[in-house]
A and B are shown apart, each in its own frame.
Chain A
């Protein structure tokens, strides 16, 4: 969760500086990374490193490939990346889990790399064999940020390679779930082949059809007409029986399960059309629909493929984040400390956790005194002090100093592990969602079959010879090409736009769910608030700020970090004799005057006078859930600082928009009820809707109970929300949160703040509007077709024109509609 704090710092700065272009890859530089005063700006550490390396190695010609090459400047220096030993990469347990043998005694391994950002990263990562001779091959999959390495285990240790990656600015993580990916790759290939066959056939049948249409107007010798009929029959048969088989399989499965699926009308249409056309072709009649049918197969397959890819994309992001959970621990054996994979730790062993690291096991502190941030479990934003004998849980972040922890439970057995199982259970138990298209399809199939029967009956009475052809024509013209495309296309277009706007949505049914407003439950820490301690108030003379910042920079206390961060840790103030009383305060001498900073008790113990004004301010802050810190100069308190977890700047506006969309907004937080009440008051929420001190298990229960009264959207960021996220009708994970919440959520907001949440709700509503319009348009076409068919006026030419036009209308409507806001790369 140290990433959480980092990200939030970046967020803060983001609004201050304007954006610029990366000197290396020319991407927009996220404004949080803009360094004021530098001539070159970089979008990521990778680019910075590459830029410096390229120039130092004399590869400057790289930039000559671009018009705007900025030659001659080598001022950028490689950044210093915190070094990690990666010793766990050498452990036999690691090799057994992630490495595989390759030809020639080599080993292959897949690693997720952080910070892969642009094309230059491909260049740098694949340069590895030139830097390290023992690495035979490095291939980066840019989209998934996974590098596949082939290396010689006798010549090089994996930890060396890992360190090299870290030095280059790409901290590596073992890529989990390799088997699943292999499976998916095979599935992907089958899909592409299916689309290709269907597409090629559709094109060829179309060309033959043009000849036939030409023949209809200008006449054609029967022998050629027969040839064209037979050839297109043959091609269509390949298309329908080959790639088109998936629809029949889907329809069979749906019928066996007793549900109406879109595959059912598609299959009926395909089968009826094929048989009818085949019979006509053999009989020598000209009423054939081979072109429409093969195009239909192609378009439907294509639509499905695009939809699948979109869903994959969001799942990949989740998978990537999941891989970044700490997989190693520092094991202490006597004087020896080494890094091992988390799986290798046994109960009763001692692990060492340095400041800034995540605690890997549940256990008891053996020795050490530190502050930990356990907000992921408790939701409490204030850091907790732990000493020897205290119980700590895996996942908490150690903030200030080294801790030695005797492990009690590891992995699955930890509280987090158990919580993750709860998440899985809730996710799998979720009721299947009925999709709009499927519901309509059910009615549609019944309606079409009834109309066909009606037409048949009508024509048996009017003209028995025309009864069968007209009924069949109706079945074919209503072949739900446009209707089949209506929902998936609108959703694909919507999800695609949403992804570009930083909202990763897992599937179409999520869009539908968001459309039914109900109860919206927000987590507090990290969702409504920034999630870390900041200075929120200052009462006192401004010149003291600098002194406070300078003194506090000597302390590693989290509140001190907030103050030195806000006031600057400038060394201009001449601070001497700094003395810290852990947990109470800090004192120092500045320009000959004694300065004390700390709690009320600290001041009283030191005999400092607290004027009434400051005592009153202090009480007020307590009511606002901020921690007051007093600053004394000489013998009297002169200023008071309020430190709290501030509400995100866009929370007010976002909540107003969500209310407008019909959602009932409430808070569900593990933090202290007084803090929750203070936040609720500030955001103008109904206090009866805001609950504090709710444990993760209670959150799950609360969501389950609320589900009985209607849809529930849960928004959270931590492990403590994960089970509730999975159980809710829609779970939304916000940026900067814990990995577990991404895995459990249906939507992941990749942009900071709550504005994307409001956009998500509004965008889903607009997407749904597009779906309705698409369905209306395609139904209109169908009604037209049906009327013509019932009247016995339908001929192949009209059918051939109407069918593609209806599909085209739907495609254009889907892609041209504004649904989700697409944000630029600079927020």
Chain B
């Protein structure tokens, strides 16, 4: 049972890591627009030379 003394804090640390990841994603603007990306996923990108490689979400 004394395992709990390690597991409980560890669980909280893991949860905190997940939380940090989420906050990072929010700050990067991943949750700004929830309507368009589902549609975007359906479209294949044709191979076009002028396409710039970075397609980052605008901040």
A137 touches B26 (CB 8 A): no
Interface members, chain B 1-43 (any A CB < 8 Å): 1, 4-5, 8-9, 11-12, 15, 18-19, 22-23, 26-27, 29, 31-36, 38-40, 42-43
- Nearest Cβ in chain B — how far from A537, in angstroms? 48
**CB-defined contacts of B50 to chain A, threshold 8 Å:** 129-130, 133
**CB-defined contacts of B48 to chain A, threshold 8 Å:** 129-130
**CB-defined contacts of B15 to chain A, threshold 8 Å:** 200, 204
Closest to A132 in B: B50
Interface members, chain A 124-160 (any B CB < 8 Å): 126, 129-130, 133, 136-137, 139-143, 148
Interface members, chain A 528-581 (any B CB < 8 Å): none
The segment from A184-192, A335-343, A748-756, A814-822 found at the interface with B is: A184-192
A189 touches B39 (CB 8 A): no
- Nearest Cβ in chain B — how far from A103, in angstroms? 10
A224 touches B19 (CB 8 A): no
Decide: A137 near B19, CB < 8 A? Known: A123-B39, A196-B26: no
Cβ of A308 under 8 Å from chain B = no
Closest to A230 in B: B8
Q: Could you tell me the distance between the alpha carbons of A775 and B50 in the complex, rounded to whole angstroms?
A: 61
Cβ of A255 under 8 Å from chain B = no
B12 touches A231 (CB 8 A): yes
B31 touches A119 (CB 8 A): no
Contact pick for B33, options A123, A133, A142, A221, CB 8 Å: A142
Q: Could you tell me the distance between the alpha carbons of A435 and B12 in the complex, rounded to whole angstroms?
A: 40
A140 touches B36 (CB 8 A): yes
B26 touches A143 (CB 8 A): no
Decide: A139 near B58, CB < 8 A? Known: A192-B26, A200-B15, A204-B12: yes
B58 touches A227 (CB 8 A): no
Q: Could you tell me the distance between the alpha carbons of A811 and B42 in the complex, rounded to whole angstroms?
A: 35
A196 touches B23 (CB 8 A): yes
Contact with B along A189-210 (1 / 0, CB 8 A): 1001100110010001000000
B42 touches A119 (CB 8 A): yes
Closest to B39 in A: A119
B4 touches A227 (CB 8 A): yes
B8 touches A143 (CB 8 A): no
- Nearest Cβ in chain B — how far from A198, in angstroms? 11
Q: Could you tell me the distance between the alpha carbons of A137 and B56 in the complex, rounded to whole angstroms?
A: 10
- Nearest Cβ in chain A — how far from B47, in angstroms? 10
Q: Could you tell me the distance between the alpha carbons of A204 and B36 in the complex, rounded to whole angstroms?
A: 32
- Nearest Cβ in chain B — how far from A427, in angstroms? 29
**CB-defined contacts of A119 to chain B, threshold 8 Å:** 38-39, 42
Contact pick for B36, options A108, A122, A129, A136, CB 8 Å: A122
Cβ of A677 under 8 Å from chain B = no
- Nearest Cβ in chain B — how far from A827, in angstroms? 24
Closest to B5 in A: A227
**CB-defined contacts of B5 to chain A, threshold 8 Å:** 227
**CB-defined contacts of A137 to chain B, threshold 8 Å:** 52, 55, 58
Q: Could you tell me the distance between the alpha carbons of A148 and B59 in the complex, rounded to whole angstroms?
A: 11
A136 touches B42 (CB 8 A): no
The contact size tier of chain B is 20 to 34
- By CB atoms of chain A within 10 A, which of B27, B33, B48 has the most? B33
Closest to A200 in B: B19
A224 touches B58 (CB 8 A): no
Q: Could you tell me the distance between the alpha carbons of A148 and B36 in the complex, rounded to whole angstroms?
A: 13
Closest to A197 in B: B19
Interface members, chain A 232-269 (any B CB < 8 Å): 235
- Nearest Cβ in chain A — how far from B51, in angstroms? 7
Contact pick for B31, options A143, A189, A200, CB 8 Å: A189
**CB-defined contacts of A196 to chain B, threshold 8 Å:** 19, 22-23, 26
Closest to A61 in B: B44
Closest to B52 in A: A136
**CB-defined contacts of B36 to chain A, threshold 8 Å:** 122, 139-143
Closest to A191 in B: B26
Q: Could you tell me the distance between the alpha carbons of A435 and B2 in the complex, rounded to whole angstroms?
A: 53
Cβ of A431 under 8 Å from chain B = no
Q: Could you tell me the distance between the alpha carbons of A139 and B35 in the complex, rounded to whole angstroms?
A: 12
Q: Could you tell me the distance between the alpha carbons of A758 and B29 in the complex, rounded to whole angstroms?
A: 41
A122 touches B27 (CB 8 A): no
A224 touches B4 (CB 8 A): yes
**CB-defined contacts of A462 to chain B, threshold 8 Å:** none
**CB-defined contacts of B9 to chain A, threshold 8 Å:** 231
**CB-defined contacts of B57 to chain A, threshold 8 Å:** 139
B42 touches A189 (CB 8 A): no
**CB-defined contacts of A604 to chain B, threshold 8 Å:** none
**CB-defined contacts of B51 to chain A, threshold 8 Å:** 129-130
A143 touches B35 (CB 8 A): yes
**CB-defined contacts of A200 to chain B, threshold 8 Å:** 15, 18-19
Cβ of A65 under 8 Å from chain B = yes
**CB-defined contacts of B40 to chain A, threshold 8 Å:** 122, 126
Q: Could you tell me the distance between the alpha carbons of A139 and B42 in the complex, rounded to whole angstroms?
A: 15
**CB-defined contacts of A136 to chain B, threshold 8 Å:** 52
Q: Could you tell me the distance between the alpha carbons of A193 and B30 in the complex, rounded to whole angstroms?
A: 12
Q: Could you tell me the distance between the alpha carbons of A126 and B52 in the complex, rounded to whole angstroms?
A: 13
**CB-defined contacts of A189 to chain B, threshold 8 Å:** 26-27, 29, 31-32
- Nearest Cβ in chain B — how far from A223, in angstroms? 9
**CB-defined contacts of A204 to chain B, threshold 8 Å:** 11-12, 15
**CB-defined contacts of A130 to chain B, threshold 8 Å:** 46, 48, 50-51
Closest to B51 in A: A129
- Nearest Cβ in chain B — how far from A190, in angstroms? 9
- By CB atoms of chain B within 10 A, which of A122, A129, A130, A197 has the most? A122
**CB-defined contacts of B18 to chain A, threshold 8 Å:** 200
Decide: A193 near B26, CB < 8 A? Known: A122-B36, A123-B43, A143-B35: yes
**Can you list 19 pairs linking A and B with CB atoms under 8 Å apart?**
A62-B43, A123-B39, A129-B50, A129-B52, A130-B46, A130-B48, A136-B52, A139-B57, A141-B35, A142-B35, A143-B33, A143-B35, A143-B36, A189-B32, A196-B19, A196-B23, A224-B4, A227-B4, A231-B8
The list of the 9 closest CB pairs from A to B, nearest first, reads: A119-B39, A142-B36, A142-B35, A143-B35, A122-B39, A133-B50, A141-B33, A123-B43, A189-B26
Since A192-B26, A193-B27, A204-B11 are in contact, a sample of 13 more A-B pairs with Cβ atoms closer than 8 Å, ordered by chain A residue number, is A108-B58, A126-B43, A129-B50, A133-B50, A137-B55, A141-B35, A142-B35, A143-B34, A143-B36, A185-B32, A189-B32, A196-B26, A200-B18
Measured CB to CB, the residues of B under 8 A from A are 1, 4-5, 8-9, 11-12, 15, 18-19, 22-23, 26-27, 29, 31-36, 38-40, 42-43, 46, 48, 50-52, 55, 57-58
